[in-house]
Chain A
Amino acid sequence: MNPPFRPFFFLVLATFMFTWFALIVLPWINLGHLAPIKEEGTPGITPWDSSGSAHQGEKVYASNGCAYCHTQQVRPASSGADIIRGWGTATDDGDPKKEVTRRTYPRDYIWQHQVFLGTSRAGADLTNVAHRFPTAAGLYRYLYDPYVLNGHSSMPAYRFLFTMQKVRGLPSDDALVLVPADMPPAGWEIVPTAEAKSLVAYLLSLNKGYHLPDENGPVPRPSKS
């Protein structure tokens, strides 16, 4: 009923190679070489790398499994309602009063060591979370107790990313301003740990407040010179 072992093996290998080539190798030829784009007349490049603290935050994001419920991709208006949900709207990097609304492109992710596009939207898309939570303080409060803003949230509270400490002199700058139910006893304050700080730096760094050329056209390759 079966072909002999060797032809069978090579046939299976060929079918595997076919999907491997089309699904992985071809996209890699297209996307593997993406470089930042040089800005006209300035030495700058777009997009620019995020801070070291944000890269540390990637690891916190990974090990606490944020990617199981949150995506980091905005689909174009032609595919799904991401733009209508407001997930494609970012604060402009140049002018905080302006907004940039767009889908995400492969070039947006070239600086990230680990890319978390995500597969589930049990929670909101986090691409432009900095637009909805412009300050770190707001994100700290949300991580500490998500149910204040969203009573039916599926998100766990990440209280282990914070510590309670005695107030010595003036309260810390980053002490959390909490609702009465969550408030620590008098004379104590709740402050983010280093992990929480890097996680929030990472979340804020995801903002896509810049423009990229429409990448549906030919993809620019790195210059040979």
Chain B
Amino acid sequence: MAKPPYIPPADHGFISTDPELAAVDASVRWPVLVCFLSAVHWMVVGTFLLVYASSLTHPQDTFPIIGLLVKLSACCSFFTYGHIWPAAVDALVYGWASTAGLGLAIWLLTRMGRTPARAPAALMTGVVFWNLGIATGLTGIFLGDSNGVELLEFPAYASWILWVAYALFALWAIATYLGRKPGQNHIAQSWILVALFAFPWLYATGSTLLSTDLHPLSPDLRHTSDQSAWAFPLPGSGVMQALLSAWYVHGLFVLWLAPIGLALLYYLIPKMSGLDLQWGSRAQLGFWSWIIIAPWTAVHDLVGGPFPADTVTVGLVLSGLIFLPVAVIGMNLVGTSLRGEAQQGHHGGIVFPFLVLSAFFFVIAGASEQLLSVRAANEVLRFTMFRECNMFLWVYGFFSFMVFGSMYYIVPRLLDFGWRSAFLIRAHYYASLYGILLFLALVGGGGIVQGLILETTNPLVTIVNVNQVSIGFYIASTMCIALVSIGNGIFALHLGWMVLDWLRQQVRRSRLASEILMEPYQPAAPVKATSVEVSA
């Protein structure tokens, strides 16, 4: 039986047929590619640390090999949960999501401005400093310099590096936006600009006001019983720290990651499906209502705490309106993608399924924020693993699926080179999908169970009883994260394989070119040609 002829995957023909767009994509090839590769590198690091951190939450019931690492954590401060967990979360939020987000923002801004990027060297410097900052910050956490403030654990010496890097990015982005071709406006640009504007605000406030080196008053002054010494403390004192921290954590999700993700979805979903945005005229409404209402989700971490009751009540009312932007954005994105899927057939293509899931997870994340804005539900769920589940939903369910889809779309266009294997993409898709669905079911459900026991009115119930029940959900969560990490690993290997193949092809091409150039001993050829001409 004759074998079917081997058809190699197409290795050219990915570049946009519009020469203008092709030039734009080529101008940002290296900065975006380096962003993506370093982001995927941090994703691998962060996912591994996340599996490790998660298996430390059930130290008495560990899994085979990783159990050795758990034993190690008791004896060595380097490997304790309080170092591994923040390192994992920071590697995923800053290293993976934010770096990928920066790459996507660069790509989208230049592409929508239809002007080739200027000063790619500034961008590359920014990428290098950004990665340096993250590496320094993670090292600081492991060495015990962590601030212990959620998502701001990076010690001050790492924050400054991140700052310099981000300033380079932001200046470049504003210059690019202002230098765009006239008439190039799209809702996606608004989302990107809001994200680029929100991050420095959030990070500057958070990292300066919550830094441990900044004390509200000098102790000598405070120990006088003279009460006027207390009249003008700096903002980051007392419970204000908790307010700032809540504002920062939620702001990072809803004003930094969410806008970048939504920008890409608003751009790619209509593009991939070839359809107009459903309810497109309401996209502006979704945008403005989101940036007004979404930051109020910060009060979900404050209910019942030592804060002014009126702030919390007003905040709950406002964050309870989050269904409005979520519904509008959901109508736009999910509506368009469902119509697109109906036309193209289910799960067509490799990019679209990831984007559709991302849009769905955005709506689910919005629904979970809506749930937390109900006071009675919040009281039960506030201190449970439901909050972890909510965070995972933003960073992994919504944002990472968007990044995966976008990378599957963008990288071939940058390199003019195809993905290597449809099977690997399918494996990545299903491992991630089932990983995240199981995580939502088990950890979200576990949070509800844990909350109901924590908040029961039976005075005999103690934390020991709560632990007896929640330990099972912690073990389940480790298994789900392991499944997700398999998907992530497949993606990282596939991307690495593709880039290596591409590099090999580039080297081969250039060798071919150099071989042609290094053949000077052909003096006969031109002579022959002239002689032919003469004879003719």
Contact = CB atoms under 8 A, between A and B. Distances in A.
Interface string A4-40: 0100110111011011001110111011111110100
A211 interface: no
A154 B59 contact: yes
A43 interface: yes
B189 A43 contact: no
Given A26-B311, A157-B74, A106 B239 contact: yes
Contact count band on A: 35 or more
A24 B235 contact: yes
Contacts of A66: 82, 148
A116 interface: yes
B385 A122 contact: yes
Nearest to B251: A19
A1 B287 CA distance: 12
A167 interface: no
Contacts, number: 260
B198 interface: yes
A153 B467 CA distance: 6
A71 interface: yes
B68 interface: no
B242 A34 contact: no
A109 B238 contact: yes
A119 B227 contact: no
Interface stretch (A77-85, A133-141, A171-179): A77-85
Given A71-B383, A122-B57, A152-B464, A222 B240 contact: no
B225 interface: yes
A23 B387 contact: no
Given A27-B243, A68-B85, A147-B60, A122 B470 contact: yes
Interface string A104-126: 11101111111111111111100
A49 interface: yes
A73 interface: yes
A199 B244 CA distance: 25
Interface stretch (A56-64, A92-100, A183-191): A56-64
Contact of B148 (A49, A61, A104, A112): A61
Nearest to B82: A65
Given A15-B291, A59-B212, A223-B227, A158 B471 contact: no
A166 interface: no
A34 to B, nearest CB: 6
Nearest to A111: B222
Interface residues of B, number: 104
Contacts of A159: 74-75
B404 interface: no
A43 B225 contact: yes
A115 to B, nearest CB: 5
Contacts of B177: 5
B276 to A, nearest CB: 13
B306 A104 contact: yes
A205 B262 CA distance: 47
Contacts of A12: 193-194, 197, 291
A105 B56 contact: no
B416 interface: no
Nearest to B209: A24
Nearest to B145: A63
A65 to B, nearest CB: 2
A5 B193 CA distance: 10
B187 A19 contact: no
A113 B457 contact: no
Interface in B423-475: 454-459, 461-464, 466-468, 470-471, 474
B338 interface: no
A79 B471 CA distance: 26
The 5 nearest A-B residue pairs measured at CB:
A65-B82, A62-B148, A79-B304, A75-B304, A121-B383
23 contacts: A2-B190, A18-B292, A19-B292, A26-B308, A33-B231, A33-B232, A33-B233, A65-B148, A68-B85, A81-B454, A84-B457, A84-B459, A86-B462, A105-B306, A115-B239, A118-B383, A120-B388, A122-B385, A152-B464, A152-B471, A154-B59, A154-B467, A216-B309
Interface of A: 1-2, 5, 8-9, 11-13, 15-16, 18-19, 22-24, 26-28, 30-36, 38, 43, 45, 49, 59, 61-68, 71, 73, 75-76, 79-82, 84-86, 103-106, 108-124, 147, 149-161, 216, 222-224
Interface of B: 56-60, 73-77, 80-83, 85-86, 144-150, 177-178, 185-187, 189-190, 193-194, 197-198, 201, 212, 215-216, 219, 222-223, 225, 227-233, 235, 237-244, 247, 283-284, 288, 291-292, 295-296, 298-299, 301, 303-309, 311, 314-315, 375, 379-380, 382-385, 387-388, 454-459, 461-464, 466-468, 470-471, 474
